[in-house]
Structure 1
Amino acid sequence: MDFWQYQTLLHARIPRVKCDLCGKNRTVVITWSRPGPGFTLFFESELMTLMKEMLVKAVARKVGEHDTRLWRVFHYYVKQAMDKQDFSSVKRIAIDETSVRKGHNYVTLFVDIDTKRVLFATEGKDPSVI
C-alpha cells in the first residue's frame, strides 16, 4: 500500500461528547487537527506540498477529496503566511504584468527590487490592481 491508500486514516474524525455540566453536545478538543476541515495537520502539510507541484484538481483526484475542500486548506495557510509578512524594510518595488495563458488573462506582480522577492500577485492589469 502506498501513502495515498492510507489517506482515509488521515481524516480527523473528531468525536462529540455530551457535557456533564450543561448537557450540550461538544466537539472534543484535539492537538493534531485544527477545527473545521476534518484533516490531520500531517495530511494538510502533505496536501500543501502536493499543491505546490500539481493542480489542485489533480491533487483532489489523487487523495479522493473534493477540490473545494482542498482550496479551503490552501487559502487558510496562504492567509496565515500573508498575515506574517513584514514589508517594513521594502524601499523600492517594481510592478509588472504577465499573461497567465494564451488570451487576455493577466497577472500583476509586485516585486521588491532589492531582494527580488515577489510581494504580491493579483489577477488583472488595469489600474484597479494598484
Structure 2
Amino acid sequence: MNVEARPPVFSAKLVLGLVVIAVGLILLADTFHWYDAWHLMAWWPLALAAFGVARIVQDGLLSFRGHVWLGFAVGGFISQFGPWGLLERWWPIFLVWGGILVTLRAIFPQPKRPRRPKRGAQPPSPPDSCDPGSDSQQVQP
C-alpha cells in the first residue's frame, strides 16, 4: 500500500472508536462499583470537542463541520459547568463565530477534496473505440 494512499491516523472514525471504548470502560467500572462513573459522564462535551478537532485536522483550519462540533462542545461545557443563565445570554456569540467562519471561507476558498467512490460502485468501462484495428467491441463487417 502506498504511503500517500493511506488514510490519516487521526480521524473522526478513530475518535468515535476511542470514545466508545472509553464510555464502555467507564460504565464497566460503574457496574463493578469501582468508581461512580456518572461523575465522569459529566465530561461528555470532550467527545464533541475531539470530533471537532479531528475534523479540523482532516479538513483544515476552516473546516465548517469541525467548527460545528466545537460549537456544540463549547455549548455543552457552558451548560455543564458554567454559571446558570450564561448560555442563554451568550448564545449569539455562536452566530458571530459561524459568520466569521463563513466569511473566512469566502475570502480563503478551501480546495475541493476529491470524493471517494461509494463501495460497490463499479468504475466506468473504457469507451468503445471506432478504430477497426483496435480491440474494440464492435462487430466487424
TM over 0.5: no
Q: Which has the higher contact order (CA 8 A, sep 6+)?
A: 2
Instruction: Name the structure with the higher strand share.
Output: 1
Output the TM-score relative to the length of structure 1: 0.24
In the superposition, the TM-score normalised over structure 2's length comes to: 0.23
